[in-house]
Structure 1
Amino acid sequence: MQKMNKNYLGKKTIISLGLALSMFSGLSTSAFAAPVATATVNKGVNFRADQSTSAPVWGFVKQGTVLPVEAANDYWVLVDYNGKQGYVSRSYVTVHENKPAPAPSPSNPAPAPAPSNPAAGGSLANKIVNTAASFQGRVTYVFGSKDLQRLRLDCSSYTQYVFQLNGINIPWGSKAQAKLGTYIPRNQLQPGDLVFFSVSTPGQINHVGIYIGNGKFINNLPNKGVVVSDFNSSHWTSHYITGRRI
């Protein structure tokens, strides 16, 4: 879930491991880890002081320029350019997630935390649901984060990690995930299906969860972490967009 122009940003898609943001704080520049993504400018774009088309323009970035990314959502990308951190419109760039470099030390690094009670046996859908549920009380919601070591995740990096632990690789970002698999009508959803919502701009996907059956879905929410939500509540019903089966 996210805020737009400091009130409700569009979907968080990438990327700052140390980005400690809540639902109501917008993108921050105070706690960034090393960039783990780059943005290639597809068409010349204004470099702005804030995430708004009315924000001051600090410069113009030419086509083909590759910029270090600090954080991003579906609308704006926070980048480093000419010694400053500022924003470019996501419509003009392509963001590439970087692979972390191998650790220089020969010692064995600690693995990312695994589910506390991984599913044994049963269908893949049940394993996905059980894996998702195992993170309740263990995940901290952080906008734009995919910190698997500390389990500081947003809604889509959480679903991405759950599927990854079950041998299925899906991209980060609710919009990207909504392009996968097969469309499933609301009344035909089954456990393990991804469900997508619009929580800011009407009609635009910017939140994702995993349907677990019996009118419930599990998702990672600001200020709450991983929780089971009532899929049939008036709030979620009014914000529902689509379901996909991976």
Structure 2
Amino acid sequence: MLADKIIFTGLQCLGIPYVFNAPSDQTDKFDCSSLIQYIFRVNGISLPRNSRQQFEIGLPISFSHIQKGDLLFFTTEKRKNRRGPSKIGHVGIYIGNGEMLHTYRPKNKVTISKLNSYWKAVFVMAKRVI
């Protein structure tokens, strides 16, 4: 199944450092959207470079219907009052069991996080691109 291959690829990236605006042609550092772009590219799916562009593609999915491999989009404190794609400030991949694979500044590396109350509060939408 493609979703399992995507998750497997992502798990190989655990621990790689987070760097804001990391170039998309590097695999020694990622930001949230370059990580997503890389994982999907390795598995034959071309995605745009940043999270707002990635948000504009795929089939919208509600939180209650997310499946492995879905992209999860979140807002941030700076962006929460904006509308449309400009509201998006973070992206991750749903890996099942209430967890996502992503990278972000506080953790400073590719990591797995529980979709806890914090992430649910800033969740905007999921998108299915596979």
* TM-score of the two chains, using structure 1 as the length reference: 0.48
1:103-182 to structure 2, matched below 5 A, reads 123-137=1-15, 139-146=16-23, 148-149=25-26, 151-182=28-59
**Number of residues of Structure 1 aligned to a counterpart in Structure 2:** 122
Identity score, percent: 38
- The yes-or-no answer on 1:206 pairing with 2:83 is no
C-alpha distance 140-147 of structure 1, shift in aligned 2 (>3 A): farther
CA distance in 2, matches of 1:159, 1:188: 20
State the one-letter code of the partner of 2:118: H
CA distance in 2, matches of 1:143, 1:241: 21
Q: Which of 1 and 2 has higher RCO (CA within 8 Å, sep 6+)?
A: 2
| Map of 1:190 onto structure 2 | 67
Q: How far is the alpha carbon of 1:214 from its aligned partner?
A: 1.1
CA shift digits 1:160-209 (9 cap, x unpaired)? 00000000000011110011110011111000000000122215111000
RMSD: 1.3
CA shift digits 1:54-79 (9 cap, x unpaired)? xxxxxxxxxxxxxxxxxxxxxxxxxx
State the one-letter code of the partner of 2:101: I
Deviating runs (4+, > 2 A) in structure 1? 147-150
* Runs (5+) with no aligned partner, structure 1: 1-122
* TM-score of the two chains, using structure 2 as the length reference: 0.88
The residue matched to 1:195 in structure 2 has which SS? strand
Bigger proportion of residues as helix: 2
The residue matched to 2:112 in structure 1 has which SS? strand
- The yes-or-no answer on 1:218 pairing with 2:106 is no
CA distance in 2, matches of 1:150, 1:163: 13
Q: How far is the alpha carbon of 1:150 from its aligned partner?
A: 5.0
CA distance in 2, matches of 1:217, 1:154: 15
CA distance in 2, matches of 1:240, 1:181: 17
| Map of 1:239 onto structure 2 | 122
* Runs (5+) with no aligned partner, structure 2: 82-86
CA shift digits 1:208-245 (9 cap, x unpaired)? 000011111110112431111111x1110110000000
The residue matched to 2:6 in structure 1 has which SS? helix
CA distance in 2, matches of 1:156, 1:147: 9
| Map of 1:230 onto structure 2 | 114
Q: How far is the alpha carbon of 1:149 from its aligned partner?
A: 3.9
Bigger Cα Rg: 1
CA distance in 2, matches of 1:188, 1:156: 22
Bigger proportion of residues as strand: 1
